[in-house]
């Protein structure tokens, strides 16, 4: 039987009321072993995800951002259980009101949740099987889970192809016959085929031409409304995150640096790392641009297999003190639904991508 958890959420300051959440991630860790020698002895661990807490509310789009290697894609793969987490909880709120810890599921118990939680991968060229037709690629989950007959699968695939902007007769073609944007539409149709509740979009538009990114983003927003979807949108481009996301979680070297409502984060960041990211965000409207200078971080991103003591960001932070070098900062409240993992979150006056006065217009 699928294990069920009915206790209230305990420690994370980010938890909301149970009936508002679809997924709660509590103290999630994903450590990959480093092996050496003929007998593959474990010499250490890469702490790709190291004690992450956040929640995803039903019906929202939550953005997960950070530099390459910060662990955001690893979190997505843990949620869809492509990886088995090293530790932590992923409390999934089922439609019947019960709560299941996805981190503890094994074998056949995982199958029903893989219908509810689907993934859109970054590269549409490699995520589709080139030896299978569009119909076979899109309907595979229905066939494997024995969710529909052959005629029902035909109808479902035809409907979804139309819904993502493709002609139903394309289902007999192979992936090589389509452009990058068309392939990503096929990948989106495949994600929708099981009527999921949560979709993890891992860099869903970063491999596409700039000219088609807006089309795919607009399509995803339309589908979210029509199919009552919840998105975890993983990206490194903060301008895209600002366009599509309701809330944002900023990560740095396997940890959450800051989380806030979308506009609040862009107006008033509370973590020095977020401030540096915001200084590089391109703002198309010149009236909405802050006049602050670009912040260029010195040094290299910390090594997740050998992170620094205290705050992982302190070697690159211009506000760092001795306390930052010695103590790992917890996530503290820095405003309404705004949390920051900085000792001085409520003391620093940091600049965002846009000013508060312009954001009000």
Please give the domain boundaries of the chain with CATH numbers for all domains: 18-35+44-245 (3.40.50.300), 250-359 (no CATH)
More confident position, 358 or 73: 73
330 closest CA partner among 8, 9, 13: 13
User: Scanning the structure block, which residue is given the tokens 């439609």?
Assistant: 95
As a whole number, mean pLDDT of residues 165-184 equals 92
Model confidence at 197: pLDDT above 90: yes
Q: Find out whether 25 and 11 touch, Cβ atoms under 8 Å.
A: no
User: Scanning the structure block, which residue is given the tokens 């949620």?
Assistant: 79
Instruction: Kindly write down the DSSP assignment for every residue of 76-98, as one continuous string.
Output: HHHHTTSS--SEEEEEEE-TTS-
CA distance 42 to 34: 6
Q: What is the pLDDT of residues 238-264, one digit of tens each?
A: 888 888 999 999 999 999 999 999 888
User: Scanning the structure block, which residue is given the tokens 């938890």?
Assistant: 15
Model confidence at 99: pLDDT above 90: yes
CA distance 271 to 4: 36
Q: Per the structure block, which two tokens stand in for 292?
A: 């602050």
Q: What is the pLDDT of residues 314-329, one digit of tens each?
A: 999 999 999 999 999 9
12-16, 48-52, 186-190, 232-236: which range is least confident on average? 12-16
CA distance to 54, 93, 221, 232, per residue, from 64 (Å): 10, 20, 17, 7
The pairing of beta strand 117-120 with beta strand 61-65: unpaired
DSSP-based three-state secondary structure for 236: coil
DSSP-based three-state secondary structure for 127: helix
CA distance 292 to 343: 23
Write down the H helix ranges in 228-353.
238-244, 262-267, 272-278, 322-326
71 closest CA partner among 257, 272, 329: 257
User: Cα dihedral angle (259, 260, 261, 267), rounded to 10 degrees?
Assistant: -120
Q: Where are the beta strands (DSSP E) in 102-219?
A: 117-120, 198-202
Q: Find out whether 298 and 316 touch, Cβ atoms under 8 Å.
A: yes
Confidence (pTM): 0.87
């Amino acid at each position: 039987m699928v294990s069920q958890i009915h206790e209230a959420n305990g420690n994370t300051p980010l938890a909301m009321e149970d009936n508002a959440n679809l997924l709660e991630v509590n103290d999630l860790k994903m450590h990959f072993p480093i092996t050496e020698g003929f007998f593959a002895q474990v010499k250490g661990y890469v702490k790709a995800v190291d004690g992450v807490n956040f929640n995803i509310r039903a019906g929202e789009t939550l953005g997960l951002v950070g530099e390459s290697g910060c662990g955001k894609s690893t979190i997505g793969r843990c949620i869809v259980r492509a990886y088995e987490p090293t530790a932590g909880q992923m409390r999934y709120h089922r439609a019947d009101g019960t709560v299941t810890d996805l981190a503890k599921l094994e074998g056949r118990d995982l199958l029903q949740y893989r219908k509810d939680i689907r993934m859109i991968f970054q590269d549409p060229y490699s995520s589709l099987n080139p030896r299978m037709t569009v119909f076979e690629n899109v309907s595979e989950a229905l066939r494997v889970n024995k969710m529909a007959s052959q005629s029902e699968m035909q109808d479902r695939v035809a409907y979804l192809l139309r819904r993502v902007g493709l002609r139903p007769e394309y289902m007999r073609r192979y992936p090589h016959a389509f452009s990058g944007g068309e392939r990503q539409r096929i990948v989106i149709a495949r994600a929708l085929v099981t009527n999921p509740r949560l979709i993890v979009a891992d860099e869903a538009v970063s491999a596409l031409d700039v000219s088609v990114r807006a089309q795919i983003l607009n399509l995803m927003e339309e589908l979210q409304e029509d199919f009552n979807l919840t998105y975890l949108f993983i990206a490194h481009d903060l301008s895209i995150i600002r366009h599509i996301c309701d809330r944002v979680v900023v990560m740095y070297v396997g940890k959450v640096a800051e989380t806030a409502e979308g506009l609040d984060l862009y107006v008033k960041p509370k973590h020095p790392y977020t401030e540096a990211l915001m200084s590089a965000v391109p703002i198309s409207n010149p009236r909405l641009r802050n006049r602050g200078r670009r912040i260029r971080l010195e040094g290299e991103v910390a090594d997740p297999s050998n992170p620094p003591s205290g705050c992982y960001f302190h070697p690159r932070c211009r506000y760092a003190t001795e306390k930052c070098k010695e103590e790992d900062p917890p996530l503290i409240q820095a405003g309404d639904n705004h949390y920051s993992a900085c000792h001085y979150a409520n003391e620093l006056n940091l600049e965002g991508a846009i000013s508060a006065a312009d954001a009000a217009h």
